[in-house]
A and B are shown apart, each in its own frame.
Chain A
Amino acid sequence: DIQLTQSPSTLSASVGDTVTITCRASQSVGSWLAWYQQKPGRAPKLLISKASNLESGVPSRFSGSGSGTEFTLTISSLQPDDFATYYCQQYNSYWCSFGQGSKLEIK
């Protein structure tokens, strides 16, 4: 099984800041990594697929990078709507797994 470890688990930031969340895989997943945003009581929302492909309708302040075992999600110029929990997900094989989540809080 491929384990995904996100860091930090919690981060505090202010509107206008730039933040980065890291996702590390226990073995290479190539570029088969997605990022999701989840708000309380809501289903996750796909932000990025294949490590860096921004989904249609997702603001350009979200960006993803990385390959192999280390990936990052960067959110620039934070907006109030961005405070949520973020998950990475790998889909390298027939199996999927999620990171434990990173909660972005307002400072």
Chain B
Amino acid sequence: QVQLVQSGAEVKKPGASVKVSCEASGYTLTDYYIHWVRQAPGQGLEWMGWFNPHSGGTNLVQKFQDRVALTRDTSINAAYMELHRLKYDDSAVYYCARSPTVVYYFDYWGQGTLVTVSS
């Protein structure tokens, strides 16, 4: 069965970087897009952008374009989201989610990774 399993919770200081992994099983990573969605405590869902694991192409919301890097390792069927220059308001649960390549609804989600930015 399809699963997306994310890495564990992180606590980082302001200005640091965090890298979240999303390991796919039950399907081939390159056959679907991976999206990243975050949710601040008590808030709604915020779409950050998508990653095409086949080509390595990305499309990020403007506010993240200079701070987020999306990558993959096809040998282990995993995708990664790295967020640089962390700010306090980056504290959130970060989700990876899968979509078909041409229509971006999310049929499978990772369990979420809590990132806490604290001094």
- Residues of A at under 8 Å CB distance from B? 32, 34, 36, 38, 43-46, 49-50, 55, 87, 89, 91, 94-101
When distances are taken between beta carbons in the complex, the residues of chain A under 8 Å from B82 are none
Q: A87-B45, A96-B35, A98-B47 are in contact. Are A43 and B104 (CB under 8 A)?
A: no
Contacts of B99 in A (CB 8 A): 91
B30 at the interface (CB under 8 A from A): no
The reply to whether the CB of B111 lies closer than 8 angstroms to some CB of chain A is yes
Task: Say whether B103 contacts A44, CB under 8 Å.
Answer: no
- Is B47 in contact with A97, judged by CB distance below 8 angstroms? yes
Known A44-B45, A87-B45; judge A96-B104 contact (CB<8 A): yes
Q: Decide if B106 touches A34 in the complex (CB within 8 Å).
A: yes
B12-55 near A? 1/0 per residue, CB < 8 Å: 00000000000000000000000101000000111100100000
| Interface pair B103/A91, CB less than 8 Å apart | yes
| B104 contacts A91, C-beta separation under 8 Å | yes
The reply on B109 being an interface residue by CB < 8 A is: yes
Decide: A43 near B109, CB < 8 A? Known: A91-B103, A94-B59: yes
Instruction: Identify 13 new A-B residue pairs, CB closer than 8 A, beyond the known A95-B47, A100-B44.
Output: A38-B45, A43-B97, A43-B109, A44-B106, A46-B106, A50-B103, A55-B107, A89-B105, A91-B103, A96-B47, A96-B50, A98-B45, A101-B45
B105 contacts A49, C-beta separation under 8 Å: yes
Cα-based distance from A89 to B103 in the complex (angstroms)? 12
- Using Cβ atoms and an 8 Å threshold, which residues of chain B touch A101? 44-45
A43 and B111 form a contact (CB under 8 A): yes
Note all chain B residues with C-beta closer than 8 A to A99.
44
A99 to B47, CA, bound (A): 11
Any chain A CB within 8 A of the CB of B80?
no
- Whether the Cβ atoms of A32 and B110 lie closer than 8 Å is no
A33 to B25 Cα, complex, angstroms: 27
Q: Are A34 and B105 in contact (CB under 8 A)?
A: yes
